[in-house]
Amino acid sequence: MTHGFHAISRIALMTVCTTALAAAAVTNSSVDFVGAVYAATNDARGNGLVAYGRNSDGTLTFINESVSGEAGGRLNGGGGVDPLIAADSVLNVDNRYVLQVNAGSNTISSFRVNRDYSLTLVSVVPSGGFGPDSIAERDGIVYVTNVDRDGVFTGPADQVGNIVGFRLDRRTGVLTAIPESTWNLLGRPADIAIAPDARSLVVSLYNAGSPAISREAATAELESFAIIRPGVLTRDPVSTATSTRMNNPTGRNLPGAIAITIRELRGRQVVIVAESREFLADGTPSPLGQFQTGSISTFELDDRSFLSPISLDVPTSAAITTDPSNTSTSSCWIAFARNGRAFWVASASSSVISSFRLNDEGAVSLLDGRVAEGIPVNPTDSNPAKDASGFVDVVASPDNSFLYELLSGHGAINVYQVASPASPLSPLQQVSGELPPNGVQGLVYLRRHDGA
């Protein structure tokens, strides 16, 4: 049974794809949005953000596009299904500013949110490395990861990146680099998160275990740093962790850690990480047809920035198989429900959304492996991504009633109505026509605000 958008044609009558009509709607002063969704174009010719107002019934209305003049990019060497292999490439800061990476020009942009939810470009600064892909912020201090620090690489397997620190002026939205605030990583970063207690910063590494990088990186799916003071980290990671070892006896593919979220549960800080399984047990990249079922792992992060395992390699499907068309493989993006315990995970290659739950100890369990699905990549096709939906970057509305999910392969946003995290998602709307037809990545939700 198909719970989601299996093919775009099935919901053509619900599709909002006429830019002229949507644009006309927002000129009507009676329109009163209750929030907004911003999607990144990741366009190499002019990266920017497309703004959609959220109506009270959860549907979206196109507002406008704001362009930075910078370049988007495809950091995995091609393909429009998962162009950045990263999470948090766009960040909402206090419902006042939106930050965006420009992977093709090695810069970061900041935009101000206006009263009508449109955006105004404020500043653009160099990212301090090559291929910026993820952003975190706390109290005006911004940390950005770059997939590579010297620009010499042939692909994700041998990329070694860094973290760079910036200040965000909370009055103007202007970004400035913090002098001497660059920290080297062991491998290729995919996401970055600041702990609730503001004492630690955690980075996920997509290529942990790859033989093309250091042996130390083989056990570094996650790296944690202590925050000495805002904008200053320990020079080296305090702790590293992984859910699956190289050359494990079961032949389990290694975890390509993508999205991470840090939640506080009963006084404990729990790191939740979405794991794709695209590197073989010996660390070499696998063919598309050998991608294995993805997983979720959780780790405790203590007040000294040490990571300890809680639950490891919990599959995103009831069965562990290979081939993205058979199971949920590239588990990459996480959206939490309002209760802070249930969450959804999106897979790019399989175009599947799964749902999970955390218990009081931070252990994770699968609720439903397929609450929504689209068109997966086809490993046997000469162009595997030709028809693929490419589920990337999923976000939930604050009232937990709606889920918004970006289709990188179709340049669209799916809007789902949520009954409960354990229930199939109900298709409500698909918005298309304003985004590039493929290769888009980056999605954020913004709550109602009073304007800048």
pLDDT at 259 over 80: yes
Q: What is the mean pLDDT of residues 36-60?
A: 96
Task: Report d(CA 452, CA 442) in Å as an integer.
Answer: 23
pLDDT category of residue 17 using cuts at 50, 70 and 90: very low
Which domains can be identified in the chain, with CATH numbers? 8-447 (2.130.10.10)
Tokens of 192: 């970055």
Q: Which of the four pLDDT bands, split at 50, 70 and 90, describes residue 18?
A: very low
pLDDT of res. 80: 80
Q: What's the mean pLDDT in 346-356? A: 96
Q: φ, ψ for residue 156 (rounded to 5)? A: -55, -30
Average pLDDT, rounded, for the chain: 91
Q: How many CA atoms lie within 13 A of 75 on its CB side?
A: 36
- pLDDT, mean of residues 158-180: 97
Q: Give the contacts of 403 (CB within 8 A, at least 6 positions apart).
A: 335, 344, 353, 394, 395, 396, 397, 415, 416, 418, 425
Top-confidence residue, 212 or 153: 212
Contacts of 347 (CB under 8 A, 6+ apart): 276, 294, 316, 324, 328, 329, 330, 331, 332, 353, 354, 391
48 — pLDDT class (breaks 50, 70, 90) = very high
pLDDT value at residue 269: 98
Q: Is the pLDDT of residue 15 over 50?
A: no
How far is the CA of 449 from the CAs of 49, 136, 359, 446, in angstroms? 18, 21, 33, 8
pLDDT score recorded for residue 106 = 97
Q: Is the pLDDT of residue 95 over 70?
A: yes
How far, rounded to the nearest angstrom, does the alpha carbon of residue 192 sit from its chain's CA centroid? 10
Nearest to 54 by CA among 92, 8, 22, 90: 22
Render pLDDT for 277-294 as a digit per residue (tens, 0 to 9).
Answer: 999 999 999 999 999 999
Residue 6 has pLDDT above 90, yes or no: no
Residue 31 has a pLDDT of 63
What's residue 354's pLDDT? 97
Confidence of residue 14 (pLDDT cuts 50, 70, 90): very low
The residue-averaged pLDDT of 176-198 equals 97
Tell me, what's the pLDDT at 128? 97
Length of the chain: 452
Q: What is the pLDDT of residue 77?
A: 60
User: In the predicted model, is pLDDT for residue 21 greater than 60?
Assistant: no
pLDDT range class, residue 155, cuts 50, 70, 90: confident
Does the pLDDT value for residue 451 go beyond 60?
Answer: no
- 3-class secondary structure, 152: coil
What is the structure's pLDDT at 318?
A: 86
pTM of the full structure:
0.92
Bridge partners (DSSP) listed for residue 407: 391, 412
pLDDT of residue 448: 76
**Are 194 and 262 within 8 A, CB to CB?**
yes
pLDDT in tens, 308-333: 999 999 999 988 999 999 899 999 99
Which residue has better confidence, 206 or 18? Answer: 206
How high is the pLDDT of residue 23? Answer: 38
